[in-house]
């Protein structure tokens, strides 16, 4: 298993991390980085192998780059709590009002892709031999 920090490695905003196991990725958050140029909003990593996006919560530094993720070709489920599922489209709509050149129909796509998980249970290890390394 690899953990790839696409954004947020040297900042306190812009959370965007990928768990990758045997070439299959799960993205955890896809947020805006405060104070960066508009060019930095583009998704500069491959998304074809990413099978899901998991949102930890609805703050803009955890969800703000979802429109750019969709523009990069991501079309997989977005998992989050039911409260986050309600807020994400509204938060993104506010953000899209401030951005130029993005497809405002993406709010509807987000609503379709979001899967609210009513209650998160305990996470179990996929394999006892898996561990994190630096």
pLDDT score at 54:
95
Mean pLDDT by 10 residues, the chain (134 residues): 80 88 94 73 90 93 90 92 90 67 69 79 53 42
> Which class does domain 2-117 fall in?
alpha beta
pLDDT score at 13:
82
pLDDT score at 28:
96
H-assigned helices in the chain: 60-63, 66-71, 82-98, 106-113
pLDDT score at 6:
87
The alpha carbon torsion through 46, 61, 110, 77 (nearest 10 deg) reads 50
Ranges of each domain in the chain: 2-117
Strands in the chain per DSSP E: 2-7, 16-21, 24-28, 50-54, 78-81, 114-117
């Amino acid at each position: 298993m690899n953990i790839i920090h696409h954004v947020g490695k040297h900042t306190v905003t812009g959370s965007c991390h990928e768990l990758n196991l045997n070439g299959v990725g799960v993205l955890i958050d896809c947020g805006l980085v405060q104070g960066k140029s508009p060019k930095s909003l583009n998704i500069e990593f491959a998304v074809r192998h990413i099978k899901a996006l998991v949102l930890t919560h609805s703050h803009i530094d955890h969800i703000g780059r979802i429109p750019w993720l969709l523009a990069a070709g991501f079309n997989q489920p977005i998992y989050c709590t039911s409260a986050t599922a309600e807020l994400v489209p509204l938060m993104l709509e506010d953000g899209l009002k401030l951005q130029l050149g993005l497809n405002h129909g993406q709010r509807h796509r987000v609503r379709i892709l979001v899967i609210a998980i009513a209650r998160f249970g305990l996470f179990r290890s996929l394999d006892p031999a898996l561990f994190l390394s630096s």
